[in-house]
Amino acid sequence: MNSIVLSAQSVSRRFGSHRALRDVSLQVRRGERVALLGASGSGKSTLIRCLCGLETTDADGGRIEAFGQLLQTNGRVSPEIRALRRRIGVIFQQFNLVGRLSVMHNVMTGLAGEAPLWRALAGAYRLEDRARALDALSGIGLAQQAFQRASTLSGGQQQRAAIARVLVQGAELVLADEPVASLDPQSTHRVMEHLAALNRDAGMTLVVSLHHVALAQRYCDRVVALRDGALVFDGASSALTPAFLQQLYGTAAADLLHEPGTDLPHTTAHPMALAA
């Protein structure tokens, strides 16, 4: 079995005169937990969107493969994009939940790729689908909130519901785009622990974009660092000392070195222990 689950070769993306990505190449192996690190505007979100096919590269902007199959090349997505997306879970900073629907209903939308369209639109999910969603919500500590409107959840709870949606989807690769950027320190660490559990316990490969090096070092063994759309480092997270970050980012290194909630103790608890 090919251990490379994601491959980007010479990926570039322009928006007008702005070069969001500049000839980025990387590979992600099955089971890795990789942090995309960079200051605001470094290209992390654009790269995440290109890697899952939500954004196309430039017409001469390289090639992206997932699970050994073409996802997009030179600005055109593959005809197999829908099948590939079923295997890729994407978690956004904005949660992307429908506030008026129940948490359970939102989580079951993770089944949209395998359920008939009429069933997904009508919300007519099978009993086994509901059981699958409830199991996922139990795993991230939201079983009691399953039938509440999603709009009643806190920001951290909404992001955990988004994680449950990825669990229900059965994704093999999870791309998380700044998933903790809008959360308080307590929720930040709780969500990061759950994302780590997707990798550790569910066997999912994880690529998560962050802009705090301490979070990257705590939760990821490997860091891919971007600056002004270009890849400037790809290696062990332990190598990112303050002095090295200063070399990579100059004055912007100060923002990357600040971690929200540094007063929180380090924990590696199982996600079930984090239920609240």
Residue 98, domain CATH: 3.40.50.300
> In the chain, how many domains are there?
1
Helix, strand, coil % over all residues of the chain, rounded to 5: 40, 25, 35
Q: How far is CA 274 from the centre of its chain?
A: 20
What is the mean pLDDT of the segment spanning 67-94? 93
Domain-embedded: residue 109:
yes
- Per-residue model confidence (pLDDT) at position 273: 36
Domain-embedded: residue 275:
no
CA dist 244 and 170 (Å) reads: 38
> What would the pLDDT profile of 214-270 be if each residue is shown by its tens digit?
999 999 999 999 999 999 999 999 999 989 988 888 877 877 876 555 444 444 443
Domain-embedded: residue 263:
no
Domain-embedded: residue 265:
no
182-187 long-range contacts, CB within 8 A, separation 24+: 182/93, 182/94, 182/155, 183/155, 183/156, 183/159, 184/155, 184/156, 184/260, 184/261, 185/260, 185/261, 185/263, 185/264, 186/156, 186/261, 186/264, 187/154, 187/155, 187/156, 187/159
Domain-embedded: residue 114:
yes
> What would the pLDDT profile of 35-71 be if each residue is shown by its tens digit?
999 988 899 999 999 999 999 999 988 999 999 999 9
- Per-residue model confidence (pLDDT) at position 110: 85
Domain-embedded: residue 129:
yes
> What would the pLDDT profile of 130-144 be if each residue is shown by its tens digit?
898 999 999 889 999
Domain containing 155: what range?
4-257
Domain-embedded: residue 216:
yes
CA dist 224 and 37 (Å) reads: 6
> What would the pLDDT profile of 124-178 be if each residue is shown by its tens digit?
678 888 898 999 999 889 999 999 999 999 999 999 999 999 999 989 999 999 9
Q: State pTM to two decimals.
A: 0.86
CA dist 255 and 14 (Å) reads: 26
